Amino acid sequence: MKTELVRIGNSRGVRIPKPFIEQCRLGGTVELRVANDCLIISPGHQPRQGWDDAFRASSHAAHDELMLETTEPNEFDHKEWRW
C-alpha cells in the first residue's frame, strides 16, 4: 500500500489504516527503528514486560536450589564478613 506523508509542524507523519493497527496490535505507543534503510513500526512494550510470568514459571523448577545452602564457608566468611 502506498500512502502520502502528512505535514505535522516541521515533521511528517504517516496515517496507518485501522485494519493494520488491529492486525499488528498497535496501542497508544509504538517503537520505531530503522533497519536496512526501512522504517519499522512495532508495538510499544512496557519495560520488563513478561518478567513476572517468567519469574513465576521459574519457581516451579524441581532442580531449584539455593547456592548459599550448598556452599561451604570460606576464609572470607570466617574472618572478614560482618553483619
CATH of the domain at 13: 2.10.260
Domain range enclosing 11: 5-43
The answer to whether position 12 is within a domain reads: yes
* pTM of the entire predicted model: 0.51
State pLDDT tens for residues 11-60: 999 999 999 999 998 988 899 999 999 999 998 877 787 888 888 877 66
Residue 62 confidence (pLDDT) above 60: no
Q: Burial-class residue 33 by CB neighbours within 10 Å (0-12, 13-18, 19+).
A: exposed
- Domain count along the chain: 1
Report how far residue 19's alpha carbon sits from residue 59's, in angstroms, rounded to the nearest whole number: 40
| Residue at 24 is within a domain | yes
32, 26, 37: which is closest to 13 by C-alpha?
Answer: 32
Q: Report yes or no on 53 lying in a domain.
A: no
